Each structure stands twice: as structure tokens, then as C-alpha cells.
Amino acid sequence: MCDACYPEVGRNNVAKKQKTIFVCQECGAESPKYLGRCPSCGKWNTLVEERVQDRTDTRNRLNFSGKRSKAAPINEVEIEKEDRIQVPFAEFNRVLGGGVVPGSLVLIGGDPGIGKSTLLLQISAFLNNIGGLVLYVTGEESASQIKMRAERLDLVENNFYLYAETDLSAIEETVEEIRPNFLIIDSIQTMHHPDIDSAAGSVSQVRESTASLMKIAKSNDIATFIVGHVTKEGNIAGPRMLEHMVDTVLYFEGDQHQTFRILRAVKNRFGSTNEIAIFEMNEKGLKEVLNPSKLFLEERLAGANGSAVVAAMEGTRPILVEIQSLITPTAFGNAKRTASGLDYSRVSLLMAVLEKRAGLLLQNYDAYLKAAGGVKLDEPAIDLSIAVSIASSYKEEETDPTDCFIGEIGLTGELRRVSKIEQRVTEAAKLGFKRVFIPKNNQEGWTYPKEIQVIPCRTIGQVLQVIF
């Protein structure tokens, strides 16, 4: 067979076989062949086949100004002060570190129906009211559905742009045409990059779409908000590197059966992490809760045992939370331990310390513990309040409703110092508490509020002797 007789199958006309690779949906690792277990993260059945386009890489290696960056001594580098844009949600501003930074890329994740789109729709209206041009891109809903939600929230008077599109090239053209100050993408899993030959929501699509949006945000100083779906484990779906690419990662938490929502910052290049904002969901949208401590304590029963209050730190803000315990005799041979909003292993450890160091015979009792209000606590300073609530339920004696307990408990029963003790005690004093129990090593180096009595203790046994 020669090329002259059969030109259609000549050497230059033979179609090349498309190269395929296997990409892990969890960590983004690539493999030339299929593997049952990812060699990078160790997860099973996460590798998905994707085609690789046979074309040269046309992406430039320059920065957004068109010039290559050069190495410079650190003392010659100029610090750029970012101008933050404030929205009427003071809680939202604080979680972001003081306001919206132009050119920042913010990723918001949360369960379906938790209120991510509602929050961003309200933020869009606020930004539009202060003179910012907003482009709201939806890939999950039509423009009419977004308008119906805006009418329900009384936001139809705002003149921000709606765009129902999933093609990223069309979105880039629209951004260049409108030149907005703020861009909202709902959601990143529905976006489709035209240069990537894979389904929307895959690792390659999410990665390339986010990279394109980051280039748009940084090159044009457009503050961009991206909505991300979460997996059943509660992590943002897609490759883990998605969280590394963006500037800020916010998690929107809460129970669909309750009205309260918690916005938590787990990464922030422009502010502190672990900041939380609490919102209340009603028919007019989200309403911020300015005093969450009062919210968590307002339904506390007077005269009930098994209750203790702790001043826990959430980011830079102290929040007073009620710890509830219920100790009942076990009906079976093995005692049962249940914890909601608290670490299960921490509860088991503290019950062992109470049995060994405080003489409480808890091995034949079931224990049910809960952090009231649906908040999750995981810091060491909550140990003392957990132990006091357990002892209160075991002895069936109530604690004084004006007492607050702060401290970490060691395995020998000692109270260990905690951080930011002055802010915690001040917050307790503001809400009318009369006494606060703290570790003895925390009593020096700060000024006590006049309206509250500070009781330093060395062991958990001393605390229980004073209370009961």
C-alpha cells in the first residue's frame, strides 16, 4: 500500500490516538493507567479517566501586566495597602477580615439549601447600593428564578446584572464587556471550560475554571465570590488544590431544620481564620445576629442541673455557650457515651479524670452531652465546663446560673492555663455573670473586671468543692 494510491491513509493524514490519563477526584493526582487506589492520597475508587488534548500550550508565562517578574531584595519590595469595601453586614465584614478586598477570590461552601445563594444575592444588593457594579452568574438556576428570589427578598430595586451561563469563555467576554466591580459565580461545579474535554464538575474542569476566574479577578481587580458544593463528609467537592488557589475559604454551616446559620472562615489571606458569623434565616433572607452569646443562653432553664457555661473563643471573638450533660444509670453492661457538638474522645477522657481524680463513679452511667445552640466546640478551654456539667448531673445539684467556667484539664486533674483569658472574662462580665473559675496560672498579667469575681483554682477537685 502506498500513499499515492491511498492518500486518505497517508502518513500525514493518519488520525492520532487521543491520550488519556486517570485523575484522582480527591487530590488531583494523575496516573497514566487505572489504579484502584490513589498512590497520593490513598483513597479507593477515585481515579476517573480524562482525555488530554493534543495541542501546544498557548498560555503565557507572564504576569498580568505583560511583563516578567524579577527577583528583588526584600527591603525594596513595596507593601500595597488594600482598600476594603464595607457591606451592611458587620458580621460578614469581620469574617472576611474587615471587608471585601478588590481582586480577591472568595470560595463559599455549604450543604444544599443552606442559604449560599441567598447570602450572595443579599451581598450583591448591598454592593450595588454602595455604587459597585455586580455581575451575578448562575449556572444552576435561570435568570427568572433568581429574580423571583430577589422579589421575595425585596431586592428587585437593585440594578445588578444577572447572567445564566455555564460556558467560561462567554462569561469572560461578558466580564470584559460589562467590566463589573464584583463577580459572583454560582456554582463552580457547573462551569465548563471550552479547552478541557471532560464533564463539568470534574477535577480538570474545576481546576481550570478556577484558574481562569483567578486571572480575571487579579488582572482587573474584580472581587470574585465562588460557590462550591460540598461532599457528604462536609468538604468542598473537587480537588483539594481548589482551596489553595483562592484567597479566602468560607464554610456556611447549619441545620436545615433550624433558623440559625454559621459562616466560618477556615482560610483567609487578608484576615484571621476561624472567625464565625451567625445569621438567622427568615422569609426576608438572612439577618445577622450581633450578640450570639445572648442567643445561646436565652433559653437556659433556671434550677436545672447538668448545665455549665463556658466562654469559648471563635476566632478573635469570645462566645458564651451552655454545655449540657445528662448522666443516667446504664441499663446494659456497657455504659454509653454520646456527644453533640463536642469531641467524643474528649468527653471520655474527662469522665475518666473525674472518676480517678474527683471520686465520681461514672463507669456504670450513660452520658449524653451537648453544646447548646448547634455550635461546635473543639478548643481545650471548654474542659472545665464539661467536667462541671457532668458532676452537676451526677450529683443532681444545680450550678449557680451566674457562674462561668474556663480552663483546660490535664490527666492528673490539674487546671492548665488557656489563651486570651482577659477577653473571655470580659465577655462573661458583659452578660451579667458574677463569678468565673479560671486556672491559677492565668490569674496574673491582666486586669480583672470590677463587676465579676475571679476565682483561680489549681485542680478540678477544688472547683467542685467550691460549687457543691
Read off the C-alpha cell for 264: 466560618
**Residue 203 confidence (pLDDT):** 84
Could you give the CA distance from residue 452 to residue 466 in angstroms, rounded to a whole number? 16
218 alpha carbon, distance to own chain's centre = 23
Residue whose C-alpha is closest to residue 324's, from 306, 350, 346:
306
**Residue 53 confidence (pLDDT):** 58
**Residue 256 confidence (pLDDT):** 65
Q: Quick one: angle between helices 383-395 and 460-467, nearest 10?
A: 50
Assess contact for 443 and 454: CB atoms under 8 A: yes
**Residue 334 confidence (pLDDT):** 86
pTM here is 0.72
Could you give the CA distance from residue 414 to residue 408 in angstroms, rounded to a whole number? 8
Residue whose C-alpha is closest to residue 91's, from 373, 258, 321, 314:
314
148 alpha carbon, distance to own chain's centre = 28
Region of 277 (left: φ > 0; alpha: ψ -120 to 50; beta: rest) is beta
Q: Residue 123, class by beta-carbon neighbours within 10 Å (0-12 exposed, 13-18 middle, 19+ buried)?
A: buried
Could you give the CA distance from residue 191 to residue 142 in angstroms, rounded to a whole number? 14
**Residue 464 confidence (pLDDT):** 94
Could you give the CA distance from residue 379 to residue 409 in angstroms, rounded to a whole number? 12
Residue whose C-alpha is closest to residue 138's, from 150, 127, 155, 152:
150
Q: Residues near 11 by Cβ (< 8 Å), separated by ≥ 6?
A: 3
Q: Which residues of the chain have pLDDT under 70?
A: 1-18, 52-69, 82, 234, 237-238, 256
Could you give the CA distance from residue 87 to residue 30 in angstroms, rounded to a whole number? 42
**Residue 7 confidence (pLDDT):** 47
Please, what's the largest Cα pairwise distance for the chain? 103
